Amino acid sequence: MALKVLTVVGNRPQFIKAAAVSSRLRAAGSELLVHTGQHFDDELSAVFFAELGLPAPEIQLAVSGGSNTSQTARMLSALEPVIADARPDCVLVYGDTNSTLAGALAATQLNLPVAHVEAGMRSFDRTMPEETNRVLADHLSALLLCSSEVGVANLAAEGIGAAGQRAGSSVTEVVLVGDVMVDVAREAQPRARERVDLVRAHGVEPGDYLLATAHRAGNVDDPQRLAALAELLLGIGVPVVLPMHPRTRARLKAAGLLERLSSAGQVHVIQPVGYLELTALLCNARGVLTDSGGLQKEAYLAGVPCLTLRPNTEWVETVAAGWNTLVDLDLEAARTALAAVPPAGRPELYGDGHAGERVVAALSARFGN
Ligand code: UDP
């Protein structure tokens, strides 16, 4: 019998990650793609399926909104019968969202093994809901697929991996596969870089603007930090293109800051964009301002300096390499970082663009019959 995997995805970065794996998985065996519904709007969901050639989900659960706890609970209830019915060889989850945790926990409660892509990344900041999701998903997983050596080392420090198998459980396996987002970005960036038309359409010139994205709870749910974010964007002194996440838009609107930001000539507030357009905006930017995890890696790959709007990051390699600076919401720190000259080299931190193949090989070796 061929390998049968049930994959749980639910939001934007997971659609991008799954694009590097799903079609290969279907060539090697079979996949049932379950979309929890965490991101449901066309601009955060449908556009990625269409653009990245991701197969349409076989099952849509339509679970969204509410607190993290309530959303995760509803996902667990919705996933349990689906996973029980499918009886896959394993359940595959990506990253650090509520969909990741719900998929991993529902599978474990059904005594089915879990494979986690992007295992071992840590910000060591337990106030971030994503950190809780990552740690728990890793500790539930049988196959931990890491993006970098740092991920492998973080797992070893928690007693997961060759150095410390967990007693009483089935063997836990850690495999360094590289980062699946790198596969997708490597393919898209050369093409996107040429698309200066997509940049000029937003009223800015290549090399003369910053690409900004922000939606982490720690930045947009706290009114003081939200105000600091707006001040930073308004004060940075370079035009900013800001594809605005719906959560950020709602918070800025409620705080009376949306109008101020949108009416400032220097900040171009736009709707979230598809992957090609985002990549065109990234590759032609002078720098990136972001609290996104994925964008920190993509900026590194594109050779665009990144200013991370957080006090910490799980993508520490980009900071050590000198291409990413943790400026949090400090305008002066952001100005200083922007003025710095980036290093000459960019070592291959997250693999060679073939992580998707290695994910499928590891799944087949471990769970194929
Ligand atoms: N992205 C996109 N359009 C946008 C903003 C982001 O395609 O308007 C992509 C971006 O290139 C990256 C991913 O979405 O691949 C990051 O997603 P997000 O910031 O939502 O999540 P995180 O990476 O922080 O988990």
- What the block records as the tokens of 25 is 């998985």
Question: Known catalytic residue: 215?
Answer: yes
What's phi and psi for 33, nearest 5 deg? -95, 120
Judge if pTM exceeds 0.85. Answer: yes
Residue-level pLDDT at 320: 98
Ligand 1: which atom is nearest the Cα of residue 47?
Answer: 7
Residue-level pLDDT at 126: 96
Which tens digits make up the pLDDT trace of 26-69? 999 999 999 999 998 888 899 999 999 999 999 999 999 999 99
**Alpha carbon 324 to chain centroid distance?**
16
Quick check: 178 and 352 in contact, CB under 8 A?
yes
Protein residue closest via CA to atom 19 of ligand 1 = 292
Residue-level pLDDT at 170: 65
**Tokens 């892509």 appear where?**
117
Which tens digits make up the pLDDT trace of 86-95? 999 999 999 9
Nearest to 49 by CA among 62, 31, 33, 25: 33
Nearest to 242 by CA among 286, 217, 209: 209
Ligand 1: which atom is nearest the Cα of residue 243?
Answer: 8
- What the block records as the tokens of 282 is 């990234």
Quick check: 248 and 215 in contact, CB under 8 A?
yes
Alpha carbon separation from 244 to 19, 49, 172, 214, 219 (Å, rounded): 23, 20, 40, 7, 13
Nearest to 289 by CA among 349, 227, 206, 230: 230
Report the pocket of ligand 1 as residue ranges, CB < 6 Å.
Answer: 12-13, 16, 213, 243, 272-273, 275, 278, 292-295, 298
CA 357 to CA 81: how far, in whole Å? Answer: 30
Quick check: 94 and 17 in contact, CB under 8 A?
yes
Is the alpha carbon torsion for 27, 41, 264, 258 positive or negative?
negative
Protein residue closest via CA to atom 13 of ligand 1 = 13
Protein residue closest via CA to atom 2 of ligand 1 = 275
Ligand 1: which atom is nearest the Cα of residue 213?
Answer: 5
Protein residue closest via CA to atom 8 of ligand 1 = 272
Rounded to the nearest whole angstrom, what is the distance from the C-alpha of residue 279 to the centroid of ligand 1? 10
Residue-level pLDDT at 164: 42
| List of the chain residues with pLDDT < 70 | 1, 162-170
Nearest to 112 by CA among 170, 187, 54, 73: 170
Ligand 1: which atom is nearest the Cα of residue 272?
Answer: 8
Rounded to the nearest whole angstrom, what is the distance from the C-alpha of residue 15 to the centroid of ligand 1? 10
**Alpha carbon 264 to chain centroid distance?**
29
DSSP conformation letters of 211-226: EEE---HHHHTSHHHH
